[in-house]
Amino acid sequence: MNYSFNKLHVASFESRRSKEIGKLIEYHGGIAHIAESVVEIPSKSSKEIEELCKKLKNSEIDIIIFLTGFGTKLLLENLGKRLGTKPAKRLLNKTTVIGRGIKSRSALRNFGVTPLYSKPVPNTWQEIVKVLADKNLLKNKYVAIQEYSKKNNNLVKNLKANGAGVLSIPVYKSALPPDTSLLENLVNNMIKRQIDICLFTSSQQVANIFKFANKLNKNDQLLRSFKNIVIGSVGSNT
């Protein structure tokens, strides 16, 4: 079945795949409005990664949880540089490896690491904890977490509540792009009711557009604009 946006104005806040998203919108009959809303900056600190390497070599890590596709790639690259690619694969495959969502799992497989669960794919931190707790895999175990732009305190708290020790590893942070002119224009168009549909591919995009609107003193106006906009999002977290 062919679907069409039927010349509706469709907004996307995608950064890394902005061109592809724009082409898809136009291919399906929409008028694309693209404004990058997120840049991902690799963390400068390597203290936690060094600690992870040490614990992996000493067989002190039982479970590693990868939370995002981009973060998974960054952490695997860092482990490959510090340990060597083959030793990193071997050490990771000796642990229980979980990828939250398809992007993390794809990055792990491309590196040569087999994630534990395939069906259902855990897409939220609650599902990850449930899967591990139901199989009694957390008590007295040590869990490493690939964090993203901010620490997932709820995940850490629930892992500890189930008897696990936790090492959080921040690998990048998210920020607004250096040039926000397109983003400002798109936010204003939304407020003026010139946008029919908004597409979000990550929760960070949502957080960033409201962060930016707050800088413009237009947070309330942006929030009200969503009453007249159809929202499409990828993933339960978004």
Q: Domain holding 163: CATH number?
A: 3.40.50.10090
In this prediction, residue 131 carries a pLDDT of 86
Question: Quick check: is 3 in a domain?
Answer: no
- Residue 205's Cβ-side half-sphere holds a number of Cα atoms within 13 Å equal to 26
What is the per-residue pLDDT for 100? 86
Number of domains in the chain: 2
Q: Considering the domain boundaries, does residue 1 fall inside one?
A: no
Tell whether 26 and 123 lie within a shared domain.
no
Residues of the chain falling short of pLDDT 50 = none
The single residue listed with the structure tokens 């904890």 is 129
Whether residue 67 is found in the same domain as residue 165: yes
Instruction: Kindly compute the dihedral angle of the four CA atoms of residues 193, 35, 202, 106, in this order, to the nearest 10 degrees.
Output: 140
In 3D, which of 70, 78, 69 has the Cα closest to residue 51? 78
Separation CA 235–CA 166 (nearest Å): 25
Q: Are residues 130 and 181 in the same domain?
A: no
Q: Which three-class secondary structure state does DSSP give residue 115?
A: coil
pLDDT of residue 237: 66
Query: Which range of residues forms the domain containing residue 84?
Result: 42-174
Task: Look up tokens 């490896």; give the residue.
Answer: 97
